[in-house]
Amino acid sequence: MVDRLAPILPGSYLGILGGGQLGRMFTQAAQAMGYKVCVLDPDLDSPAGSIAEKFIHAQYTDLVALKEMASLCASVSTEFENVPAQALDELESLGVFVAPRSSCVSLAQNRVAEKKFLATWKVETNIGPVPHCVIEREADVEHAPVELFPAILKTARMGYDGKGQMNLDTVNDLLAAWNEFGRVPCVLEKRMDLDFEVSALVVRGYDDAVVAYPVSQNIHRNGILHTSTVPAPSLKPLQEKKIIEAAKALICKIDYVGVLCIEFFILKNGDIVANEIAPRPHNSGHFTMDACVSSQFEQQVRSMARLPLGDTRLLAPVSMLNLLGDLWFEGSEDLAKEPAWDKVLSHPDAKLHLYGKTVPRMGRKMGHVNCLGESINQARQNCAAVASELGIEP
């Protein structure tokens, strides 16, 4: 009988559902530690599938494909939260160690469930969700609290990077917006008096050990992450302590194994509210690849393989710059041109990471640059200089 608590040692296969950039960086981390990787993804041209030892080209709910993955892999994880929960359940029923489990992933798949959970979490941590209400039927539209406006209407499922969201100024805008979303279940959130945004990255091992990275301060543009800076320049020490303690409480409360990201809003009055949960390594955690003892992807490997977790210590201040497909197009979406990476790398503190995507598109995440420095200001200046080289407004 297999000991389900024994470590899964290098040489074994680890599985990842999803072949995007997060799956690719996980694959690279796993391979660096001596593991082989099996990727399952419906996209034949997936960035992770192109470098994995085994690529299964299939839908996530394909039972034959899941059985093939289970026969090969001792442990499986997911690179994005919208993988069907039944795929994770099927793998677990086949004897695979699944981290995180479907119950944890399902929580982040539905904003209604997520908000309900965050409201209960507030009792323990004194950090709760943004004031909100659920819109599921026309009566909910008619009785939406006026005090929530101006507001943001978000679809309960499948929204990310600014998709499935609409800003509303008054209650009179709500019905038309809900109709535009096809009358699917939504969450109506009050638009907060935001000072800045941060995210906490925490990791929990199979043995209940929990570690946290320094909190990152994030800037978004058009709903997509633009930069993440660590240490968070505007965050007070007591605020960071409260956020990290709350994040550690949350990951234990849901019995989560793996890397988890929680996004927070810091309001102008100093209050902290929780925005959303991402049950996977996160874009705002890419700084860990060059600025920390252990990257978030190495931690995902460690947690999946039931190994001790790594050190999360920050080795140098860092500012991460996202690279979108827009960079490949100079005023025309018809002709793609490779950006001047030589100019980027003329900055010795810049660490370039490209995701192996063969087709650039406007708004598509194509890579990132980690810009290190001896101080926060220097890291930010280095980031601004790299952005300038690429024609990105810093």
22 and 78 belong to one structural domain: yes
Question: What's the CATH number where 150 sits?
Answer: 3.30.1490.20
Pair (182, 202) in one structural domain: no
Residue 157: the pLDDT is: 84
The model's pLDDT over 37-77, given as tens digits with 9 standing for 90+, comes to: 999 999 999 999 999 999 999 999 999 999 999 999 999 99
| pLDDT, average across residues 81-110 | 92
Kindly report whether the global pTM for this prediction surpasses the value 0.85. yes
pLDDT at 134: 94
The number of domains in the chain is 3
Task: Report whether pLDDT(192) > 70.
Answer: yes
Element housing 39 (H / E): strand 36-41
Percentage of residues in the chain having pLDDT higher than 90: 83
Stretch 276-298: mean pLDDT: 97
Considering the domain boundaries, does residue 266 fall inside one? yes
Are residue 151 and residue 236 in the same domain, yes or no? no
**Residue 147 half-sphere exposure, CB side, CA atoms within 13 Å?**
3
Where are the extended beta strands (E) located within 113-193?
A: 132-135, 151-155, 165-168, 186-190
Range with the lowest mean pLDDT among 111-115, 234-238, 269-273, 304-308?
A: 111-115
Say what the pLDDT of residue 393 is: 83
More confident residue, 372 or 169: 372
- Whole-number Å distance between alpha carbons of 244 and 236: 12
- Of 161, 16, 159, nearest to 76 by C-alpha is 16
**Can you give the pLDDT at residue 2?**
44
What domain range includes position 63?
13-98
* Average pLDDT of span 301-325: 98
Query: Do 342 and 204 fall into the same domain?
Result: yes
- 335 in a structural domain: yes
Question: Which three-class secondary structure state does DSSP give residue 237?
Answer: helix
